[in-house]
Amino acid sequence: MLLQNLYRLKAAGFDYVDPVVVNHRNDESLPSELGSLHEMVSQCHLCDLNKSRTQTMSGHGNPDAEVMFIDAYVSMAEDESASYFAGRSGKSLSDMIEKVLGISRDDVYITHAVKCRPLGTQTPSPSEWNSCRPYLFKQIELIRPRLIITLGPDAYHLLTDDENSFDQVRGEKIRFGDYTVIPIYHPQFLLRNPSLKRDTFTDLKTIKRYL
């Protein structure tokens, strides 16, 4: 009955709004060691995604990595396999790292802006991202990578709050505080748009020059 009433309200022109963020963890309360931070993420209950997640995916790789990859959201394949290189998209990312950049997967660090898989095909809400934001920025602070590579427009815009279109910044070297960010296409997007792989190959060559 409640769901039917919600549908009627939506049909009448009412919009749903995200609730006010009240569960926001202060950066000062976060641990200064990566393993402890991951443990805190695994027990996080700051947003509703904790009710439906299979697990958290706090981050993976070399804690002293010079290159940090940031994806926006945990995919279904990643959640089901607990692997950061799951499925065709993960295989493509692995090839980018090892075959083009010429470095081992174990030498990079990869994480997500939102640490739990979103419900269904939904995009995480602003409050869900805001709950994870301190974790992401603490990871960056602890790892201090030479380069941050964002995968796709969502990851770039969540990280930087930059209002420029993704096409304007893709492949460019962007100064972000004390760090350098280079946005590239997401591997999943490239699987659907193989004609853009040449552009990404050029972007990866640019990245390699800065290593």
- DSSP string across 42-90: HT--SSGGGGT-S-----EE-TT-SEEEEESS--HHHHHHT-TT-HHHH
Mean pLDDT of 103-109: 96
Q: Give the DSSP H or E segment for 9.
A: helix 2-11
List pLDDT tens digits, range 169-210: 999 999 999 999 999 999 999 999 999 999 999 999 999 998
**Going edge to edge, which strands form the sheet with 109-112?**
60-61, 109-112, 67-71, 147-151, 179-184, 174-176
Tokens of 169: 């910044």
Where in the chain does DSSP place strands (E)?
A: 60-61, 67-71, 109-112, 147-151, 174-176, 179-184
List pLDDT tens digits, range 8-62: 545 555 444 343 333 445 556 899 999 999 999 999 888 888 777 778 888 999 9
Task: Using DSSP, state whether 124 is helix, strand or coil.
Answer: coil
Lowest mean pLDDT among 119-123, 157-161, 171-175, 187-191: 119-123
Strand partners, 111: 70
Distance CA 131, CA 21 (A): 8
Q: Which domains does the chain have, with CATH numbers?
A: 28-209 (3.40.470.10)
